[in-house]
């Protein structure tokens, strides 16, 4: 498989500058929304997706050192922001994919307006309050605890050492800013929106929900709740996997995504 | 001018290092099953007796404060403690340092402080604080909102005290269409004095200086405190007023006994919380967003100069040599305070007078010695 040529671009929008990676030449666009940890750059699963699609990976407003627009306080605000970003990028009939907090944003965007979205993929998404379990604490805990929560089995993670290395001062600042922005958006109610299950009933596009069966941050129960709220959606549970299936179980993840997109 | 204030954190002194060692942090993780309300009843009673003594022996004021989820401070409400002080004392000023207004309802704060001013006959000094991050975390509020909430709460409280009601307040965090608190403060020129404390943040010093609010440094080392005082004075000059000792106070740990040996032995208890007070993940002490990104950049670009003594661990002897802990007979203490007066010239000497499980009788004797021997000397520096 040939590596994709990736560009880093910027677009000015609503009092801030959005930075994004774009790669691939497919006629269909795919937009990937990152989670609360910020934009970790062009990943190998982006590269695989870029074999078929033109993949956009924007840094969410306020993340990765970008300026937070004054009016963005909630994930709902962020969803409005992203819909305007999609318009500014002039994307039509695109695939919307979001992981964790990014899945929450994607689901609110699709609830607001799914007329330009071809299909929706939510990966271990935040946004719905579990009925029996709890969403794990990710803010009031140490970096070691956060890392431990993320993966089911570190041995399944390529370059796991990279997640444990000491950060440069620039990376520390970016990481701190990302967590500041995530705190601002997700502190209360904690990583969910009481109304989201009701918003979701408006979604009428093909939707795939992917979840690690051992997600220690957002319990798999939330995947079932998403499926119940989105008519016709499909839930794919990946075995022996934590909160980040695209990293921990890349083959199973890509198979689930490709099968879904081929049939939708 | 120099005014001397008594201060006690009202520690729950029954806790030992062994009790806390196994927990991830000394505050949020340390379980409240370790708290015995019956023991606390006795401690509160002792602390109130100490207030009575401080009032009788000539302290100018009593300072009090508030913390949450902290074994070393049994005061989750500074206003309740101020009410106790108002009723058990006759003369002292009551400096509340202060209300954590970012996490409270500001209109209720304005009402309660006004009520305290009426009860105490106009003896209230109303400090406003951002609190440690734990105060905000404990209240369930995002640390990213603390500063903006603090500023709005401050403005609304001052408006409650200075603008006849009813009025309307279209704030971001506390929108009110009708504000009309019945109880207003006795002190109306223009309102009870506001103090603002800090440890190491220049932003806080500038905020206070711009409003002519006296700045109380809570026990930072002398060199850092001098830098912060200079920032206050520079800001005051820019704003256009002449700052003096009346704009600056300094908190230090001071304990007096009849002999040096006794004072040295008891004073060692000031190290009671050293191991655990700020222990725990940074996410508790300084979580992302509690400081602005600008402040974070400044912090990352400068060497660690510490807040208080955070950042470096110091021995009992080193802390005494640095004048952070001042213990001894009245004669020794007077000489050390003379040095601090020369170095910093604080208008307010705030005496952190007990800690941990210091015996009540020892603390009462210390208050008596400070009141009868040290304070008269300090007044003549």
What is the per-residue pLDDT across A120-172, written as a single tens digit (0 to 9) for each?
999 999 999 999 999 999 999 989 999 999 999 999 999 999 999 999 989 98
Residue-wise pLDDT for A176-224, tens only, equals 999 999 999 999 999 999 999 999 999 999 999 999 999 999 999 999 9
- Nearest Cα of chain A lies from the Cα of B72 at a distance, in angstroms, of 21
Query: Which two tokens mark B160?
Result: 């409650």
Q: Which residues lie closer than 8 Å to B6 by C-beta, 6 or more apart?
A: B50, B51, B54, B59, B61, B62, B63, B92, B351, B353, B367
Interchain CB contact of B297 with A (< 8 Å): yes
Any idea which residue has 């004054």 for tokens?
A70
Nearest Cα residue to B96 out of B119, B71, B122, B62: B62
Query: Contact at 8 Å (CB) between B97 and B216?
Result: yes
pLDDT < 50 positions in chain B: 303-310
Concatenated DSSP letters of B159-209: HHHHSPSSEEE--SSS-EEEE--S---S--SSSS-EEEEESS-HHHHHHHH
What is the enclosing helix (H) or strand (E) of B5? strand B3-7
Residue B143 sits at the chain A interface (C-beta within 8 Å): yes
Burial label for A127, CB within 10 Å (0-12, 13-18, 19+), is buried
Cβ distance B142 to A169 less than 8 Å, yes or no, reads: no
The residue in chain B having the minimum alpha-carbon distance to the alpha carbon of residue A184 is B144
Nearest to B89 by CA among B64, B126, B114: B64
CA distance A180 to chain B (A): 5
Among A129, A247, A257, CA closest to A191: A129
A 10 A CB-CB count for B235 gives 18
Kindly give, in sequence order, each residue whose CB lies less than 8 Å from that of residue B227, ignoring residues fewer than 6 positions away.
B305
CA–CA distance, B352 with B355 (Å, rounded to integer): 8
Quote ipTM for the complex: 0.91
Q: pLDDT over 90 for what percent of chain A?
A: 92
Q: Which two tokens stand for residue B128?
A: 């406003």
The kind and range of the H/E element at B368 are helix B360-369
Question: Six-digit token pair at A161?
Answer: 């050492």
Q: Which of A180, A184, A188 would you mutate first to test chain B, the one with the most B CBs within 10 A?
A: A180
pLDDT at position B323: 94
Structure tokens at A153: 């089995």
Interface check A68 vs B, CB under 8 A: no
Contact present, A101 and A180 (Cβ < 8 Å): no
Write the residue in B281, B283, B293 that is nearest to A177 by C-beta. B293
Backbone angles phi, psi at B40, to 5 degrees: -65, -35
Question: Which of these, A32, A65, A61, lies nearest to A48 by C-alpha position?
Answer: A32
At residue B26, the 3 state secondary structure works out as: coil
| pLDDT of amino acid B306 | 38
**Is A156's Cβ below 8 Å from some Cβ in B?**
no
Chain B: residue whose CA lies nearest to A71: B172
Q: Nearest to residue B123, comparing CAs of B5, B16, B23, B230?
A: B5
- The answer to whether residue B171 neighbours chain A at the CB level (below 8 Å) is no
The predicted model scores a pTM of 0.94
B263-278 tens-digit pLDDT: 999 999 999 988 888 7
- A176 chain-B contacts, CB cut-off 8 A: 288, 296
* Closest Cβ opposite residue A169 in set B141, B283, B300: B300
The answer to whether the Cβ–Cβ distance between B288 and A188 falls below 8 Å is no
The string over A15-34, giving b where at least 16 C-beta atoms fall within 10 Å of a residue's C-beta and e elsewhere, is ebebbbbbbbeeebbbbbbb
**Which among B145, B281, B288 has CB closest to A176?**
B288
Nearest to B102 by CA among B290, B342, B265, B281: B290
Using a CB-CB distance cutoff of 8 angstroms, which residues of chain A are in contact with residue B283? Answer: 139-142
Whether B144 sits inside 8 A of A180 (CB atoms) is yes
Number of cross-chain residue pairs from A and B with Cβ atoms under 8 Å apart? 52
Interface test with B, best of A64, A176, A189 (most B CBs within 10 A): A176
The answer to whether A209 and A125 are in contact (CB under 8 A) is yes
Q: Give the mean model confidence (pLDDT) for residues A88-114.
A: 98
Q: Pick A140's closest partner by Cβ from B137, B141, B289.
A: B137
At B44 the three-state DSSP class reads helix
Contacts of A139 in chain B (CB under 8 A): 283, 287-288
| Contacts A149 to B, Cβ<8 Å | none
Chain-chain contact of B296 with A183 (C-beta, under 8 angstroms): no
Q: How far is B130 from chain A (nearest CA, A)?
A: 17
Q: Which two tokens stand for residue B358?
A: 């210091």
Helix (H, G, I), strand (E, B) or coil at B49: helix
Kindly list the distances between the CA atom of residue B250 and the CA atoms of A106, A157, A158, B132, in Å, as whole numbers in the listed order. Answer: 52, 53, 54, 18
Q: Which residues of A touch B297 (CB under 8 A)?
A: 173
CA distance A230 to A209: 10
Cβ distance A183 to B28 less than 8 Å, yes or no, reads no
Q: Does the CB of B59 have a partner CB in chain A at under 8 Å?
A: no
In DSSP notation, B240-254 reads T----GGGEEEEEEE
Q: Do B283 and A141 touch (CB under 8 A)?
A: yes
A47 pLDDT above the threshold of 90: yes
A190 touching chain B per CB within 8 A: no
Interchain contact, B144 vs A183, CB within 8 Å: yes
- On whether any CB of chain A is under 8 Å from the CB of B142, the answer is yes
Q: What is the distance between the alpha carbons of residues A189 and B91, in angstroms, rounded to a whole number?
A: 47
Cα of A142 to nearest chain B Cα, Å: 5
Both tokens assigned to A177: 């800013």
pLDDT confidence of A15, banded at 50, 70, 90?
Answer: confident
The CA-based angle A184-A84-A78, given to 5 degrees, is 15
Distance CA B329, CA B310 (A): 28
Determine, for residues B287 and A172 on separate chains, whether the beta-carbon distance falls below 8 Å. no
For residue B374, what is the DSSP state?
A: I
Q: Does B133 touch chain A if contact means CB atoms closer than 8 Å? A: no
CA nearest A119: which of A101, A147, A97? A97
Q: How many residues does chain B have?
A: 381
Beta strand B176-179 pairing with B167-169:
antiparallel
Which chain B residues are Cβ-neighbours of A169 within 8 angstroms? 300
CB distance B172 to B152 below 8 Å: yes
Q: Is the peptide bond before B39 cis (omega within 30 degrees of 0)?
A: no
From chain B, the residues in CB contact with A183 under 8 A are 142-144, 287-289
B286 and A CB contact within 8 Å:
no
For tokens 């922001």, what's the residue? A81
Angle at B58 between CA B52 and CA B63, to 5 degrees: 65
Interface contact B172, partner A, CB < 8 A: no
* Residue written as token pair 């005082």: B229
Query: Per the structure block, which two tokens stand in for B305?
Result: 């100069």
Q: Identify the residue among B29, B103, B136, B142 best suited for mutation to test binding to A, counting A beta carbons within 10 A and taking the highest.
A: B142
Determine the Cα–Cα distance for residues A36 and A30; give it in Å rounded to an integer.
20
């Amino acid at each position: 498989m040939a590596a994709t040529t990736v560009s880093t671009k910027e677009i000015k929008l609503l009092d801030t500058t959005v930075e994004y990676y774009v790669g691939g030449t497919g006629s269909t666009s795919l937009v990937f929304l990152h989670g609360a940890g910020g934009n970790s750059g062009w990943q190998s699963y982006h590269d695989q997706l870029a074999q078929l699609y033109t993949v956009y990976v924007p840094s969410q407003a306020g993340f990765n050192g970008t300026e937070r627009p004054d009016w963005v306080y909630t994930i709902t605000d962020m969803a409005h922001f992203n819909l305007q970003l999609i318009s500014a990028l002039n994307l039509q009939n695109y695939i919307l994919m979001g992981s964790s907090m990014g899945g929450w944003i994607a689901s609110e965007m699709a609830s607001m307006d799914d007329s330009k979205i071809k299909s929706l993929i939510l990966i271990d998404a935040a946004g719905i309050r579990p009925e029996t379990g709890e969403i794990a604490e990710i803010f009031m805990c140490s970096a070691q605890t956060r890392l431990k929560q993320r993966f089911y089995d570190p041995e399944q993670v390529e370059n796991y050492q990279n997640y444990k290395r000491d950060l440069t001062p620039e990376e520390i600042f970016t990481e701190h800013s990302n967590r500041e922005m995530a705190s601002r958006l997700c502190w209360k109610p904690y990583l969910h929106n009481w109304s989201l299950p009701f918003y979701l009933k408006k979604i009428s596009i093909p939707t795939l929900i992917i979840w690690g069966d051992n997600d220690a941050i957002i319990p798999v129960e939330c995947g079932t709740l998403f499926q119940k709220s989105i008519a016709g959606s499909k839930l794919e549970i990946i075995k022996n996997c934590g909160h980040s299936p695209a990293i921990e179980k890349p083959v199973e993840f890509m198979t689930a995504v490709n099968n879904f997109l081929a049939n939708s | 001018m120099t005014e001397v204030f008594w201060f006690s954190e009202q520690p729950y002194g029954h806790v030992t290092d062994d009790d806390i060692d196994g927990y991830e942090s000394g505050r949020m993780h340390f379980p409240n099953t370790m708290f015995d309300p019956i023991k606390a009843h006795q401690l509160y009673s002792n602390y109130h007796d100490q207030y009575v003594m401080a009032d009788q022996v000539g302290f100018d004021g009593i300072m009090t404060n508030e913390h949450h989820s902290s074994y070393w401070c049994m005061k989750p409400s500074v206003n309740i403690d101020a009410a106790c002080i108002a009723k058990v004392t006759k003369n002292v000023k009551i400096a509340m340092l202060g209300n954590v207004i970012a996490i409270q309802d500001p209109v209720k704060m304005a009402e309660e402080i006004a009520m305290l001013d009426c009860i105490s006959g106009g003896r209230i000094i109303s400090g406003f604080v951002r609190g440690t991050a734990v105060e905000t975390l404990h209240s369930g509020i995002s640390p990213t909102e603390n500063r903006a909430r603090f500023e709005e709460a401050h403005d609304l409280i001052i408006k409650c005290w200075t603008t006849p009601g009813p009025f309307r307040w279209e704030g971001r965090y506390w929108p009110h269409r009708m504000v009309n608190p019945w109880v207003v403060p006795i002190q109306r020129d223009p309102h009870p004095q506001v103090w603002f404390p800090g440890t190491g943040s220049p932003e806080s010093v500038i905020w206070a200086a711009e409003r002519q609010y006296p700045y109380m440094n809570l026990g930072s080392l002398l060199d850092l405190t001098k830098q912060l005082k200079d920032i206050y004075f520079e800001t005051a000059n820019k704003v256009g007023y002449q700052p003096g000792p009346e704009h600056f106070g300094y908190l230090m740990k001071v304990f007096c006994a009849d002999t040096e040996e006794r004072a040295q032995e008891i004073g060692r208890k000031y190290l009671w919380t050293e191991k655990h007070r700020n222990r725990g993940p940074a996410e508790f002490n300084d979580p992302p967003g509690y400081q602005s990104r600008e402040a974070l950049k400044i912090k990352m670009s400068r060497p660690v100069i510490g807040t208080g003594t955070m950042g470096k661990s110091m021995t009992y002897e080193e802390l005494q040599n640095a004048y952070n802990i001042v213990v001894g007979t009245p004669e020794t203490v007077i000489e050390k305070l003379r040095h601090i007066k020369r170095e910093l010239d604080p208008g307010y000497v705030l005496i952190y007078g007990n800690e941990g499980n210091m015996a009540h009788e020892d603390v009462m004797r210390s208050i008596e010695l400070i009141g009868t021997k040290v304070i008269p000397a300090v007044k003549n520096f």
